[in-house]
Structure 1
Amino acid sequence: MKKFEPAVFIPAAVLIFAGVAYAVLAGDQAEALFGDLRTLITVNAGWVYSVGVGIFLVAAVIVALSDWGRIKLGPDDSEPEYGFLGWFAMLFSAGMGIGLMFFAVAEPLTHFVTPPNGDPETVAAAEQAMVLTFFHWGVHAWAVYAIVGLSLAYFAFRHNLPLTIRSALYPLIGERIYGPIGHAVDVVAILGTLFGVATSLGYGVSQINAGLNSLFGLPISPPVQVGLIVLITALATTSVLAGLDAGIKRLSELNLFLAIGLMIFVFIAGPTLFLIGAYVQNIGDYVDQLALLTFNVDAYGDGVWVNDWTLFYWGWWISWSPFVGMFIARISRGRTIREFILGVLFGPTLFTFLWMTIYGNTALLQAVGGTAEPLLQLVRDGDTPLVLFTFLESLPFSAITSVLAIILVTTFFVTSSDSGSLVKATLASGGDLTPPLWQRFFWAVLEGVVAAVLLLTGGLAALQSATIAAALPFTFVIFLAFIGLMRAWSMETARRAGVKSAPQLPVEGAAVPWRTRLKLMFSTPKPDDVRAWMKEFVEPAFQEVIPEMEHQGLSAQMEWSEDRDRVWLTIQHGDQPDFIYGVELKSYDEAPAPGASPSQQNSRGEVFLTEGGQHYCIYGYSKMQVIRDVIRHYERHRQWIHHLVNVN
């Protein structure tokens, strides 16, 4: 595996510097341009986001419940690289941990103050606010991550392709993933990852700054926020240089423990019994309205609320999916597809719902009761960074919990930054799972520099709009990746069926030399040839088996079809299912033999059992080989009967 891919690293770095330069130098013009582009996309093609995330969710659930769910992300004997706790902590911290700190109180209150439907600041508005918050932070986001992550993990760990976005397209474009198309896909993934994390970092430090201002009077100003970016970048650089196990994993577990601790405190200090009931009802309301909300694009309205909220979120999750999907793929080697999808979909989602209920419903109860005017005023004024800390002031020990909240916001940012840096370094090193330290250092520092520069120059809004607008073409990339994934699974299913059904050629007493057998595999016998073989070898084999079965106290008989194209042996087992082994003449238009005419028919003597055809041919077997194949299947039949008897 390469340690450096110049065709990806150099264009990505150049485009990043160019994009930042444009956002800085063009200023308001850049913000207006990208803002108009985002509006144009959400207004005219927003339905693509809604349909896309809906399809991804349905597809993920169907795949998890299908036979494909048994396939492992790695060799069949592989085991998960990380335990469930460490795995969950890392995917949760990278996926949306920081967003929960920022929006857990602010979003429910915002929908309460300005609901899309109904009267504001009512009980109905509060109930609607939680459903909408669940909708934006629920399974749809994780379905996008799951599809992208699954595509990458499957091809990387099961087919030894590079752990890069390009590998998801291998079934569609083959070896061309190693050329310009593949390079371009990975460059776009790096741009989306860096700009997405950088803009989140730039906005997120405003919440840390607000918390420090509330606690210690630290002024809210760009220089302070740049200093915070430097601190977070230094911590993230240290973590990413320490590696996945020593750095990111441990910090993610610390995040999870701190988050659970703070959540439990709010749960106990708040309206505990009310929150238990609210959690149950919120999930019920969410499930009840899931389909309606999924495909609601407000076609009969002005679409403003849907564009500003739902489509914004869908674009944001899709734009983050290369980063989060690749990271959760990196930590999921050895898990089955079913474990992966169900774990990614429902583990973080249920925890997120619990988090949102405890914080959001506690704040909403205060608002409905008329004791949350300071919070509501912050929401009306758009002063979102202060909402969480003002909320904590309404509970006991607010000084302690506010400090803990600041620490959590910081560590969540660090884990997002260091996992993003690891992803970019992996992409720029051709998919190497342990990219060189200098690359990890470069991307971690560049992330902080971009965030600081854009924060000082006011270019964050422009870059955020550009990132969300870029989600539209990447939606189609995800569609293509999933199509490629299904094609690969279909091929694997066919291979497994072939391996399972293909008989083991008996060796003792074999009457057909291996060269003769190989020649038969490439032959194209005519129907009369197969019928003659069935009469000469299959019928005598059955006739020799019948007296032996009768000697064992069983009733056995052989039958021919009227057209003489089928012959089968039946061994009766009384109250238990009978055993049937037969051979059937089948003809196909294909010409599998090299050089054969496409119109030439190929006849086969295929085996069928009680449950139906087995899709393999035994034409050319000797009598002894046919007998041994009968006994092989009969042993499986008796094992099945043994299982039925013992289970019942």
Structure 2
Amino acid sequence: MNLFGKFEIEKGVFYPPAVLLGVTLIFGLFFTDGFAAAASSVLSFMLIEFGWMFLLFVFIFFIGTLAIMISPIGNIRLGGKNAKPEMSVWSWCVIAICAGIATAMVFWGVAEPLTHFNNPPAFTGAEALTPESAVRGLQIAVFHWAYIPYSLFTLFGLAIGFAAYNLNLPFRVSSSLYPLLGDRIYGLPGKFVDGLSIFALIGGVITSLGFGTMQFAAGLDYMFGIVPTNTVYVSLIVLLTVAYTVSSYTGLQKGIKLLSNVNSIIYIFLVMFLFTFGPTRFLLNLGVETMGSYLVNLIPTAFNADAFNVGQGWNGGWTIFFWAWWVAYAPIVGMFLARIAIGRTIRSFVIVNVMIPGTFVFLWFTGFGGSAIYFDFFNSAGIMDVINASGLEVAMYALLQNMPIPMLTIPLGIMALGISFVTLADSMTSTIAVMTTKNTHSNEPPAAMKIFWGLMTGAVTVLCLLVAGTVGTQALQTMSIVSSFPIFFIELAVLISVVIMTSRQFINKYNSEADKVIDLEEKTIEKKDATI
């Protein structure tokens, strides 16, 4: 019985990351301390020696994506002039928000602004617990989570989308490098790029599932007094794994579309709730100040390499770490974004995948982070004290406890966290399944392949938490960051590739060569018919 129907496994892409993940997991489980120590050492080396490169490259990708948006390239339609979109603008926008960094947004919305408010980075020159540290703290959080991360995903997405829809190349990350690699995308170089992208992403999703489980468990403890144990963790992971595997099984146009629409309603409600029943005037004023600070301090913050180590490693633990984290996700998230964008122009693709979700994240952080700062600064609510006592995972719950109707808003926050992770894991599972099967192009991959990757992710997370504990999840997180190092160079090549393959000269040349191939095939068929 063929579980994959008319599809075949893309062996060169499927087996390397699957085997490497399994071997790494086994090694990590049996040699936990040594593996974690080695991975941590490699990560520290990368952050110290190449931190400057991470900062420089990410800013280039951000500016490059915006430049493409406003350039004549932005007028090009993915799929050609006659291509029609497959979903509404609303569904497109909410999926772009929910399938990106929504889980992390829920986790860090309160935690990061409040952390920087209490312990401002040295390069800001701000004193702790002052209005200046409040504005800069929120500005830095928005800098880390809003527009720049989405630009990293979008750059890959528009390259993959153009290659697949306009050049009829395979729906793979490697296809985005066709102008530079040519037909070698079908060989070892292309398979290396695709396999590396999958491996980097899996470590990221596993770690996100670990963080999400911690915040879920903290919410249950906060609401119902259910103390987090291994049994609770396993139960939550199994529940989440089943949810995103089933959602992925139902297909792109059903599961993730429905969940994203539901989650968007919860998101919008929570943000409106905070701006309406929270310190409204304060949030509006703080939001305007933060946007001004973002514009003024964008370049100094982006290029803060801290050559004299004034911040004592702050930059490596925050900005550089986040950039490496986002880049690890970028190829696969970008590929997913491309799958839902046929019929859209490149300009609208950038607007929907960078500007709209970036602005929503800005509002989210202003509402959640700004409210937490307000309650601690003016009301001595002690939200930071709760975080220090119970961990970052309780930050959102500690804030909502200071607001009206916490018995409604806290469960909604927990629900938003759960759906956010399901949509993220769903989109990633489905996209990895596309890459590891042949002849899918933009179609749905076989259910068996999606189920395999979904269960693999959940099983590895359970093993990490039960056998290796936090050391295991930290090691996998470190692996993902380390494997993102070559992806920085791949994304730089992708930026160059986009400029080349969207040029009229390249398109004409490509079409001419494609016509020659078709003519040759037709002549071969005619000769065979004549012979018969």
Q: How does 1:452-601 map to 2 (within 5 A)?
A: 452-456=462-466, 457-458=468-469, 459-492=472-505, 495=508
Corresponding position of 1:192: 200
1:421 counterpart = 2:426 = no
> TM (normalized to structure 1)?
0.75
Instruction: State the alpha-carbon separation in 2 of the partners of residues 246 and 138 from structure 1.
Output: 27
Q: How does 1:262-273 map to 2 (within 5 A)?
A: 262-273=270-281
Instruction: State the alpha-carbon separation in 2 of the partners of residues 196 and 179 from structure 1.
Output: 26
Counterparts in 2 of 1:469 and 1:378: CA distance versus 1, 3 Å: farther
Mapped contact 2:433–2:449 kept (Cα < 8 A):
yes
Give 1:382 shift.
Answer: 6.8
Corresponding position of 2:341: 332
1:273-321 Cα shifts (integer Å, max 9, x gaps): 2212222221111111111111111113245111110001101110110
Corresponding position of 1:285: 293
Corresponding position of 1:61: 66
Instruction: State the alpha-carbon separation in 2 of the partners of residues 3 and 279 from structure 1.
Output: 51
Corresponding position of 2:454: 444
Give 1:85 shift.
Answer: 0.9
Instruction: State the alpha-carbon separation in 1 of the partners of residues 80 and 31 from structure 2.
Output: 51
Give 1:493 shift.
Answer: 7.0
1:82 counterpart = 2:90 = no
Corresponding position of 2:42: 37
Runs of 4+ in structure 1 displaced over 3 angstroms? 378-382, 491-496
1:433-483 Cα shifts (integer Å, max 9, x gaps): 311110011111111111111111220001101111222211001111221
Instruction: State the alpha-carbon separation in 2 of the partners of residues 321 and 430 from structure 1.
Output: 22
Give 1:2 shift.
Answer: 5.2
Mapped contact 2:96–2:352 kept (Cα < 8 A):
no
Give 1:419 shift.
Answer: 0.8
> TM (normalized to structure 2)?
0.91
Counterparts in 2 of 1:470 and 1:455: CA distance versus 1, 3 Å: same
Q: How does 1:119-130 map to 2 (within 5 A)?
A: 119-130=127-138
Corresponding position of 1:238: 246
Code of the aligned partner of 2:501: A
SS in 2 for 1:105: helix
Instruction: State the alpha-carbon separation in 1 of the partners of residues 287 and 88 from structure 2.
Output: 28
Code of the aligned partner of 2:461: A
Mapped contact 1:105–1:359 kept (Cα < 8 A):
yes
Instruction: State the alpha-carbon separation in 2 of the partners of residues 133 and 121 from structure 1.
Output: 16
SS in 2 for 1:273: helix
The aligned length equals 497
SS in 1 for 2:320: helix
Corresponding position of 2:105: 100
Instruction: State the alpha-carbon separation in 1 of the partners of residues 507 and 241 from structure 2.
Output: 49
- Structure with a larger share of its residues in strand: 1
Corresponding position of 1:203: 211
Corresponding position of 1:114: 119
Counterparts in 2 of 1:230 and 1:323: CA distance versus 1, 3 Å: same
Residue 386 (structure 1) aligned to one of 394, 400, 422: 394
Instruction: State the alpha-carbon separation in 2 of the partners of residues 127 and 431 from structure 1.
Output: 51
Mapped contact 1:91–1:327 kept (Cα < 8 A):
no
SS in 2 for 1:104: helix
Mapped contact 1:51–1:295 kept (Cα < 8 A):
yes
Give 1:130 shift.
Answer: 0.7
Instruction: State the alpha-carbon separation in 1 of the partners of residues 409 and 28 from structure 2.
Output: 37
Mapped contact 1:53–1:143 kept (Cα < 8 A):
no
Q: How does 1:289-438 map to 2 (within 5 A)?
A: 289-302=297-310, 304-373=313-382, 375-381=383-389, 383-430=391-438, 432=440, 433-438=443-448
Mapped contact 2:177–2:494 kept (Cα < 8 A):
yes
Give 1:172 shift.
Answer: 1.1
Instruction: State the alpha-carbon separation in 2 of the partners of residues 369 and 242 from structure 1.
Output: 49
Give 1:342 shift.
Answer: 2.0
Mapped contact 1:12–1:191 kept (Cα < 8 A):
yes
Code of the aligned partner of 1:353: F
Unaligned regions of 5+ residues in structure 1, if any?
500-648
Instruction: State the alpha-carbon separation in 2 of the partners of residues 431 and 484 from structure 1.
Output: 24
Instruction: State the alpha-carbon separation in 2 of the partners of residues 334 and 294 from structure 1.
Output: 34
Mapped contact 2:160–2:173 kept (Cα < 8 A):
yes
SS in 1 for 2:128: coil
Counterparts in 2 of 1:21 and 1:271: CA distance versus 1, 3 Å: same
Code of the aligned partner of 1:442: F
Instruction: State the alpha-carbon separation in 2 of the partners of residues 431 and 273 from structure 1.
Output: 55
Mapped contact 1:316–1:471 kept (Cα < 8 A):
yes
Unaligned regions of 5+ residues in structure 2, if any?
1-5, 513-532
| RMSD over equivalenced CA pairs, Å | 1.7
Give 1:32 shift.
Answer: 1.3
Instruction: State the alpha-carbon separation in 1 of the partners of residues 320 and 25 from structure 2.
Output: 25
Give 1:491 shift.
Answer: 4.2
Code of the aligned partner of 1:256: S
Instruction: State the alpha-carbon separation in 1 of the partners of residues 194 and 169 from structure 2.
Output: 14
Code of the aligned partner of 1:293: T
SS in 2 for 1:95: coil
SS in 1 for 2:247: helix
Instruction: State the alpha-carbon separation in 2 of the partners of residues 430 and 181 from structure 1.
Output: 17
1:256 counterpart = 2:264 = yes
* Greater relative contact order (Cα < 8 A, sep 6+): 2
1:52 counterpart = 2:32 = no
Code of the aligned partner of 1:482: L
Corresponding position of 2:154: 146
Corresponding position of 2:22: 17
Give 1:378 shift.
Answer: 3.2
1:594-636 Cα shifts (integer Å, max 9, x gaps): xxxxxxxxxxxxxxxxxxxxxxxxxxxxxxxxxxxxxxxxxxx
Counterparts in 2 of 1:111 and 1:356: CA distance versus 1, 3 Å: same
Mapped contact 1:48–1:472 kept (Cα < 8 A):
no
Give 1:370 shift.
Answer: 4.4
Give 1:495 shift.
Answer: 3.9
Give 1:494 shift.
Answer: 7.5
Mapped contact 2:86–2:340 kept (Cα < 8 A):
yes
Code of the aligned partner of 2:490: V
Question: Sequence identity, in percent?
Answer: 33
SS in 1 for 2:99: helix
SS in 1 for 2:95: helix
Mapped contact 1:108–1:133 kept (Cα < 8 A):
yes
